[in-house]
Structure 1
Amino acid sequence: MENNASISGNWIEGLIRDFIATSPDNIMRNEAGEPAWDGALVGFASGVDQIWQQYKEYVGAFHWTPWEVFNQHHPNDPARPEELTVISWVLPQREMVRKANRRAKHYPSEEWARIRVYGEEFNVALRRHMVKSLEQAGYAAIAPMLVPNWTIVKSERFSYASSWSERHAAHAAGLGTFGLCDGLITAKGKAMRAGSVVAKILIEPTPRPYAHHRAYCLFFSDGSCGECIDRCPVSAITEAGHDKEKCRQHLARSMEYVKETYKFAGYGCGLCQVGVPCETGIPVKAAREALERGELPSPPPPLA
């Protein structure tokens, strides 16, 4: 495919929102047949953005840049970094799902567990829909999370990491910053899931409205919060950060609970994403108001 002309991001946003509104895959599979999602935040990052190389240096050499994953799977149509755009979206959890999980004390609510399974199934379908729609329009694309060589890696620095992170893609695309529990705090809060595709297309990048990758977290902003610490049922979050191994073990144990209690094969937790100041928005007042005014900070320093 040779079509790599610049287009408006509005077309992309329309594809995502129309699919959310019309796809039969957007369902919780509960008795009421309710939708898993009802909206999205969308952002764009250039393949030439220096943040991708920073991720490689900060997260690990195994973390793909957009051009690495694209060219691995499009060897006959390779792209230079400047020809690529990462299209990222955030799917905020619906109020009824968040409300149910606020009441949870150890294992997830049924609603949250359904979203973790069936909501993510829709997210997979959305990734495939975006790749197909882009390619039908003449733009080669790839969904990094869906390629067969995507993997989780044991990381000396982070315990577990992966060859492509949807949260890191969303951060690069101006959609949010990281909290103490490693969740991404967005304009719609931390209770969400994310997805992305890499396309050989030119779209105006979304400016990153933050000067630091922790800018929206109250704990890192002024030390005034730590409520996600108290919400974690297995003490996997402390002032030192997020213990991914404890978290992983708890998620594994939740499978039996979900099967026995809710009668379907699922898992989840998400207690740290609800009942906290960042559940539905940006709790740092100065950062929230600056975003509302459209103000942009000076370029951020390298990740550290």
Structure 2
Amino acid sequence: MDYCITTENLTKRYGQEIPVNHIHLNVPTGAVYGFLGPNGAGKTTTMKMLLGLVHPTEGSISILGQKLNDKNRLSILRKVGSLIESPSYYGHLTARENLEIVRSLRNLPKGEIDAALDAVRLTGTGNKQVGKFSLGMKQRLGIAAALMGRPKLMILDEPTNGLDPAGIQEMRKLVKSLPAQYGMTVMVSSHLLSEIDQIADHVGVIRKGELVFQDTLAALHAKNSCHLALRTSNNEKAAALLPKAKHADGWLMLPQPTDEKAAAVSLLLAQNGIGIMRMEGREKSLEDIFLEMTGTEAVL
């Protein structure tokens, strides 16, 4: 597989604190890669290292097939757009005037401004000062600035933070459209599983600076597990008859329940004089799996 971003043993230490600990990222080219983890897990520090804003203590970074170093950093990062933490803007200027500053600094064609405004649906803001924009409009302006120059990679740090439901929906649609519309790879961070679940096709889960899962979103969903839960008049005797059963807080758990299996278990226990007090299907949700990975409820 072709990767837009790879890291090897990427680490950042601040004294005794290690916010990022030997992580190996593999971000496929053309993907929306969700970088998922609780607040304080190391997402922003990692993204800042990818952008050269924080110097790694250890490890290496490759972007767009080139290993990042002090000599080629600027040439590589010219092909990267980013929005980290919050957008920068001049509040007394309009959206177009803000983007004109970006355009002139980067020596881009004038048409880039209209294209960027159109992409984030800010063409109708006219003479309105950015300081009077809603938070969602400011976030979209930040992405418009990042889109200028048609980067091959977009890095977005929690772009839906603080947005109302309508703003979140708009941001989701925009992020999902970027690979097809512009042929770019998107790396987007969030502490919300539901957010990444709706926009990403690949995901990396970080916990306390360590990457605890990295694969397709489908592979994460595949970790969902279903069980048949039984409470009987004699769990010990029932467990002896059901070799795959596991004890769990007064229940017996059987994997991969089906109607046929439930009927067979019910008949087997009845034939051996064991009464079924309760029988129910249970599924470990995606949220449960994620909580096991991250060890926190802050992600829900």
Q: TM-score, normalised by structure 2?
A: 0.29
Give the strand-richer structure, 1 or 2: 2
Q: Which has the larger radius of gyration?
A: 2
Q: TM-score, normalised by structure 1?
A: 0.29
